[in-house]
């Protein structure tokens, strides 16, 4: 019997565990999931939750409800991986041994590195607690200047700050205080999104909606006493509310185990999803250094390749299935409309999706149901 150990039970870890459970027999493959949290969050909903108060339970599910009963879940953290012994040290003091290891530990939100989180005027929407605070501040907001900016690159869901700007514009109009508010989108590039064709569309919509785009802003720090955000180049902008994307890094366990780059993202082969220069270790999702977006869609489209490669290795064959970088991503432009980006390692976003569509907006809305009922369960 082979033992597959999965570190991290976010979308990547749970969907891979469920796929493996469906494709193998109990007597042949044992599957163990190491995950400290007892709930899975549908993160795309955080963006919408920032603007409307409803129970978190509407977009979270207990791990026990989404995990295949064949998978053994140990509710603890991994602290160190020793690939020479094929062992993982856990924070409960135990050591677990593996035949195959899957790293799916996601990205760590380094809120403290902003130096101003949980301040009344400095917010983000990347974790539930922070989003709840943002929600409260927004509902008390009566006008002024709101700045939106990433702090570092890469970050999860590259269009999320653009989407936040669009939803904020909608929200303020509904509340009748849009004319009392300036929205400025600060971004490190010379365009408002990394892909030129998408940036062009976003900037066209920004112009129509009166969202000011500030190019080449590389975040450095926040002066919370004077309510200013400062760039590496020395530019300063005053705010009444500042909404940042928090710095993203790999998890401690990756840094402690020498498996990552400078930021702690796992060195991963972009085609096979094997951890570079290591035997029997794979990585998936936001924890990797893959040259694609950190998104649930990437996890979904790459999980089939990862599972096929592990199953091949278990059968004594080589791991030669390849992920082609395929992903699909919505860019919400209002509470009703969205763009749809469809791209891969081999082609940039297809033109057909770069228009502001009510249909794509509808797809985005119903996606939450598919997420918990189909994708997390590993049916696709
Ligand atoms: C606001 C927002 C909007 C988004 N919108 C979209 C979207 O529209 N479309 C899209 O495709 N994606 C979107 N994403 C991104 C998507 O949610 C993530 O890319 C996806 O959830 C990544 O899953 P993951 O399992 O790789 O990482 P995570 O979900 O971060 O899961 C990692 C898990 O590992 C666990 N872990 C961490 N350290 C350890 C350890 N030492 N030992 C054991 N376990 C550990 C954590 O507890 C966590 O449960 C969005 C994200 C945000 C924040």
146 and 84 inside one domain: no
In a domain, 337, yes or no: no
Residues 85, 125, single domain; the answer is no
Are 96 and 127 members of one domain?
no
Decide if 356 is inside a domain: no
Residue 279 belongs to a domain: yes
Q: What is the mean pLDDT of the chain?
A: 96
What atom of ligand 1 comes closest to residue 251's alpha carbon? 38
Examine residue 302 and state whether it is found in any structural domain, yes or no. yes
Same domain, 9 and 41: yes
Q: Whose CA is nearest to atom 5 of ligand 1?
A: 44
Ligand 1 atom closest to 127 (CA): 53
pLDDT in tens, 2-13: 999 999 999 999
Give the mutation target among 15, 19, 44 for probing the ligand 1 site: most ligand atoms within 8 A of CB: 44
CA-to-CA separations, 34 to 132, 256, 310, in angstroms, rounded: 28, 17, 18
Same domain membership, residue 240 and residue 177? yes
pLDDT-derived band at 352 (thresholds 50, 70, 90) equals confident
Q: How confident is residue 161, by pLDDT bands cut at 50, 70 and 90?
A: very high
| Ligand 1 binding pocket mutation candidate from 295, 299, 303, 375 (most atoms within 8 A of CB) | 295
Kindly state whether residue 378 falls inside one of the protein's structural domains: no
- Per-residue pLDDT tens digits for 22-68: 999 999 999 999 999 999 999 999 999 999 999 999 999 999 999 99
**Cα of 326 to ligand 1 centre, how many Å?**
18
Residue 118 has pLDDT above 80, yes or no: no
| Shared-domain flag, residues 191 and 226 | yes
pLDDT of residue 150: 98
- Ligand 1 neighbour 10 (Cβ under 6 A): yes
Domain-terminating residue out of 308, 326, 344: 326
As a whole number of Å, the CA-based R_g of the chain is 21
Q: Which atom of ligand 1 is least distant from the CA of 131?
A: 1
146-172 core/surface letters (b: 16 or more CB in 10 A; e: else): bbbbbbbebbbbbbbbbbbbbbbbbbb
Identify the residue whose C-alpha is closest to ligand 1 atom 31.
10
What is the 3-state secondary structure of the chain?
A: CEEEEEECCCHHHHHHHHHHHHHCCCCCEEEEEECCCCEEECCHHHHHHCCCCCCHHHHEEEHHHHCCCCCEEECCCEEEEECCCCEEEECCCCEEECCEEEECCCCEECHHHHCCCCECCEECCCCHHHHHHHHHHHHHCCCEEEEEEECCCCCECCCHHHHHHHHHHHHHHHCCCHHHEEEEEECCCCCCCCCHHHHHHHHHHHHHHCEEEECCCCEEEEECCCCEEEECCCCEEECCEEEEECCEECCHHHHHHCCECCCCCECECCCCCEECCCCCEEECHHHECCCCCECHHHHHHHHHHHHHHHHHHHCCCCCCCCCCCCEEEEEECCCCCEEEEEECCCCCCCHHHCCCEHHHHHHHHHHHHHHHHHHCCCCC
Q: Which atom of ligand 1 is nearest to the CA of 296?
A: 11
List the CATH number of the domain containing 80. Answer: 3.50.50.60
Decide if 12 is inside a domain: yes
In a domain, 369, yes or no: no
pLDDT at 102: 98
Question: Does 286 have pLDDT greater than 90?
Answer: yes
Q: Looking at the structure, do residues 205 and 155 belong to the same domain, yes or no? A: yes
Q: Are residues 141 and 228 in the same domain?
A: yes
285 Cα: distance to centroid of ligand 1 (angstroms) = 8
* Digit-coded pLDDT (tens) for 143-154: 999 999 999 999
Same domain, 240 and 262: no
Q: Of 279, 311, 326, which one is at a domain's C-terminal end?
A: 326
Q: How far apart are the first and last CA of the chain?
A: 26
- Residues 93, 138, single domain; the answer is no
**pTM for the model:** 0.97
Q: State the residue range of the domain holding 179.
A: 111-247
The verdict on 221 and 270 lying in the same domain is no
Protein residue with its CA nearest to atom 30 in ligand 1: 106
Query: Same structural domain for residues 197 and 230?
Result: yes
Give residue 28 CA to ligand 1 midpoint distance, Å: 29
CA-to-CA dists, residue 326 to 106, 255, 297, 376, angstroms? 19, 28, 9, 18
48: left (phi over 0), alpha (psi -120 to 50) or beta: alpha
List the residue whose alpha carbon is closest to atom 45 of ligand 1.
Answer: 8
Across 235-259, average pLDDT: 97
Structurally, how many domains does the chain consist of?
2
Find out whether the beta carbon of 14 lies less than 6 Å from any atom of ligand 1: no
Confirm whether 140 is domain-assigned. Answer: yes
- To test ligand 1's pocket by mutation, which of 10, 15, 249 has the most ligand atoms within 8 angstroms of CB? 10
Q: Which of 212, 247, 282 is the last residue of a domain?
A: 247
């Amino acid at each position: 019997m082979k033992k597959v150990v999965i570190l991290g039970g976010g979308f990547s870890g749970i969907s891979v565990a469920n796929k493996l459970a469906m494709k193998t027999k109990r007597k042949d493959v044992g599957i163990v999931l190491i995950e400290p949290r007892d709930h899975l969050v549908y993160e795309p909903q955080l963006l919408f939750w920032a603007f409307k108060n409803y129970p978190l339970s509407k977009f979270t599910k207990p791990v026990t409800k989404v995990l295949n009963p064949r998978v053994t879940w140990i509710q603890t953290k991994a602290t160190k991986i020793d690939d020479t012994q094929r062992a993982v040290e856990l924070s409960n003091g135990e050591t677990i041994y593996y035949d195959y290891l899957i790293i799916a530990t996601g990205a760590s939100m380094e809120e403290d590195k902003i130096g101003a989180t949980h301040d009344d005027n400095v917010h983000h929407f990347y974790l539930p607690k922070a989003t709840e605070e943002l929600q409260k501040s927004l509902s008390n907001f009566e006008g002024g200047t709101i700045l939106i900016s990433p702090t570092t690159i890469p970050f999860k869901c590259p269009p999320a700050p653009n989407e936040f700007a669009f939803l904020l514009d909608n929200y303020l109009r509904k509340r009748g205080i849009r004319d009392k508010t300036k929205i400025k989108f600060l971004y490190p590039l010379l365009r408002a999104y990394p892909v030129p064709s998408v940036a062009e569309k976003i900037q066209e919509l920004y112009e129509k909606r009166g969202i000011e785009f500030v190019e080449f802003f590389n975040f450095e720090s926040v002066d919370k006493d004077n309510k200013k955000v400062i760039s590496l180049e020395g530019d300063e902008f005053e705010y009444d509310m500042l909404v940042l994307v928090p710095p993203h890094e790999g998890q401690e366990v990756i840094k402690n185990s020498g498996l990552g780059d400078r930021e702690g993202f796992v060195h991963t082969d972009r085609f096979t999803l094997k951890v570079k220069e290591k035997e029997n270790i794979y990585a998936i999702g936001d924890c990797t250094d893959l040259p694609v977006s950190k998104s649930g869609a990437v996890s979904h489209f790459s999980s089939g390749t990862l599972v096929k490669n592990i199953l091949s290795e278990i059968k004594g064959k080589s791991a030669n299935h390849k992920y082609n970088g395929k992903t699909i991503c919505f860019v919400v432009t209002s509470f009703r409309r969205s763009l749809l980006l469809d791209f891969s390692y081999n082609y940039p976003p297809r033109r057909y999706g770069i228009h502001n569509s009510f249909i794509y907006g509808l797809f985005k809305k119903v996606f939450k149901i598919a997420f918990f009922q189909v994708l997390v369960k590993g049916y696709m």
